[in-house]
């Protein structure tokens, strides 16, 4: 099955003319964005769409799902330098945009970003174009870089995952997806004819990698917790014993925060007859890859086990203000990728060419300020608050699930799309989730739950609308619908 997995492209083009920004620009237009219009099967937008009280599946059509506002770029007037009107207007737009960001940040619960940070001390560096193009360990002719910070961060993560300095290679990526793309690419280069195995609840970037690299990809079933079903994994390995295995192991799935059992995955590979020279394991630790090392009862993600690479996001638990990530792999794997680049006077085994040189500095700054003990305290706080929130949901009669090593609380999907948008919840089918990060306080969780309970009283008051059944998503024991209550 080559490229047999459907992945929706992230970038959506905007069709048609847009109106310029009005003088009385109102921040509420951004804060409370109306829902995109529904689209007919033939691509024609409906003139009027009635948002029902029941959950409504909104079809996503590329190029048709646009926001109602566009900040148009216009040419300066001839006398702008004299009047200063353009600068004043842009300053006003940015000030109002900042207020809208501040407001939206108050209602941020569904996505795994740590918004609790202060990088004021680094503002002095924003005047420089810092670019870490090429290999982090080989300096190029471009002198305005932050490789010394980048290598310091990479060394920190290599120690965390127990890989010696002289045995690892890595780099700071532009996002978590790039880390996954690189990890799978290394696996493919080590085993050109290998088959990619990934659970159905793996991040979409894993299946994007399969399509990009034209790899044969086998989807493995999952348990109701979201964890990979290792029995199904072994059964599918046995169907393809003639080809090496490239496996994506989730250290926290996207929707349910489930952690795949790395030790059991390795055991099933051995039982299916795969020796260590016939498989490559990439660990996608986007969020929980940095949390698990600080949970005492959690199994270790370590290069002392036969894994090939680990990637994490820097803008999630660490709290970097721009998307970035860390990718670590074994040095002996990287030679298959690395190439000399005369233009740079360096070698390059990264996916992107130019790389954000500011991101390593932000990561270095946070790692130095918090250290292992600081992260351990934040992890304990997140897990404690997640258990509190899950318990309160259940006490209120709302079906919910929380995996043991997770801070992602899964519960019944709200029936109001505007409520979902307000709190920026991530939803899939009948379930939604809240990701409890260091910036998510008990007070914020209480505010959310109190408003949710008020909404539910209105949704279910006449008996025509009932809570969703989530038994197929999280198991009957976690469902509190009318059938399973």
CB atoms within 10 A of CB 229: 17
292 closest CA partner among 366, 417, 179, 379? 379
Q: How far apart are the C-alpha atoms of 327 and 285, rounded to whole Å?
A: 10
C-beta separation of 433 from 408 below 8 A: yes
3-state SS assignment for residue 226:
coil
Whole-number Å distance between alpha carbons of 223 and 39? 34
CA distance 371 to 289: 16
Cα four-point dihedral sign 393, 399, 405, 407:
negative
Residue among 278, 296, 252, 297 at smallest CA distance from 410? 252
Q: Pull the structure tokens for residue 234.
A: 């072994």
Q: One of 202, 346, 406, 407 is an active-site residue; which one?
A: 406
For 224, the 3-state DSSP assignment is coil
Please tell me the distance from the alpha carbon of residue 357 to that of residue 132, in angstroms, as a whole number.
5
Cβ–Cβ under 8 Å, residues 357 and 131:
yes
**What are the residues facing 431 on neighbouring strands?**
412, 428
Cα–Cα distance, 172 to 339 (Å, whole number): 18
Token output for 264: 């059991």
Cβ distance 381 to 373 under 8 Å? Answer: no
What gap in Å lies between CA 320 and CA 395, rounded to an integer? Answer: 35
CA torsion angle 311 314 315 317 (round to 10): 90
Q: Residue 400's beta-bridge partner residues?
A: 411
Listed residue (336, 356, 329) closest to 183, CA to CA: 329
The answer to whether the CB of 330 falls within 8 A of the CB of 168 is yes
The pairing of strands 426-428 and 431-435 is: antiparallel
What H or E segment, with its residue span, contains residue 247? Answer: strand 245-250
What would the two tokens of residue 246 be?
Answer: 């490239």
CB-facing half-sphere around the CA of 317: CA atoms within 13 A:
28
- Is residue 313 part of the annotated active site? The answer reads no
Residues marked active site are found at 406
């Amino acid at each position: 099955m080559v490229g047999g997995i459907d992945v929706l492209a992230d970038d959506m083009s905007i069709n048609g003319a847009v109106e310029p920004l009005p003088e009385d620009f109102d921040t509420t237009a951004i804060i409370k964005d109306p829902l995109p219009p529904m689209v007919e099967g033939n691509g024609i937008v409906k003139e009027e769409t009635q948002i029902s009280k029941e959950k409504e599946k909104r079809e996503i059509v590329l190029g048709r799902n646009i926001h109602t506002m566009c900040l148009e770029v216009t040419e300066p007037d001839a006398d702008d330098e004299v009047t200063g009107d353009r600068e004043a207007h842009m300053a006003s737009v940015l000030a109002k945009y900042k207020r809208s960001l501040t407001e939206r940040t108050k209602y941020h619960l569904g996505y795994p970003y740590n918004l609790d940070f202060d990088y004021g001390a680094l503002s002095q560096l924003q005047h420089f174009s810092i670019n870490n193009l090429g290999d982090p360990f080989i300096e190029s002719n471009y002198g305005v870089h932050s490789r010394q910070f980048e290598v310091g961060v990479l060394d920190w993560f290599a120690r965390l995952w127990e890989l010696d300095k002289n045995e690892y290679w890595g780099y700071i990526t532009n996002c978590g997806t790039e880390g996954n793309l690189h990890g799978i690419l290394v696996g493919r280069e080590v085993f050109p004819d290998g088959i990619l195995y990934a659970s159905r609840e793996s991040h979409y970037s894993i299946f994007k990698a399969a399509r990009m690299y034209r790899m044969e990809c086998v989807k493995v079933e999952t348990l109701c917790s979201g964890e990979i079903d290792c029995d199904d994994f072994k059964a599918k390995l046995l169907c393809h014993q003639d080809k090496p295995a490239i496996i994506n192991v989730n250290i926290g799935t996207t929707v349910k925060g489930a952690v795949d059992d790395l030790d059991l995955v390795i055991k099933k590979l051995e039982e299916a007859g795969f020796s260590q020279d016939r498989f490559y394991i990439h660990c996608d630790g986007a969020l929980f890859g940095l949390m698990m090392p600080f949970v005492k009862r959690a199994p270790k993600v370590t290069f002392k086990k036969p894994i090939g690479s680990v990637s994490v996001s820097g803008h999630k638990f660490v709290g970097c203000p721009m998307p970035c990530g860390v990718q670590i792999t074994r040095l002996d794997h990287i030679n298959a990728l690395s190439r000399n680049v005369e233009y740079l006077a360096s070698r390059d085994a990264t996916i992107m060419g130019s790389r954000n040189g500011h991101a390593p500095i932000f990561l270095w700054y946070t790692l130095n300020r918090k250290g292992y003990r600081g992260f351990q305290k934040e992890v304990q706080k997140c897990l404690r608050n997640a258990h509190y929130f899950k318990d309160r949901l259940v006490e209120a009669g709302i079906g919910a699930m929380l995996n043991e090593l997770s801070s992602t609380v899964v519960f019944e999907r709200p029936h109001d799309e505007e409520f979902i948008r307000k709190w920026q919840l991530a939803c899939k089918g009948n379930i939604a989730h809240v990701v409890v990060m260091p910036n998510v306080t008990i007070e914020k969780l209480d505010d959310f739950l109190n408003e949710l309970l008020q909404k539910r009283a209105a949704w279910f008051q006449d008996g025509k609308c009932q809570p969703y059944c989530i038994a197929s998503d999280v198991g009957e024991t976690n469902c509190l619908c009318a059938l399973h209550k």
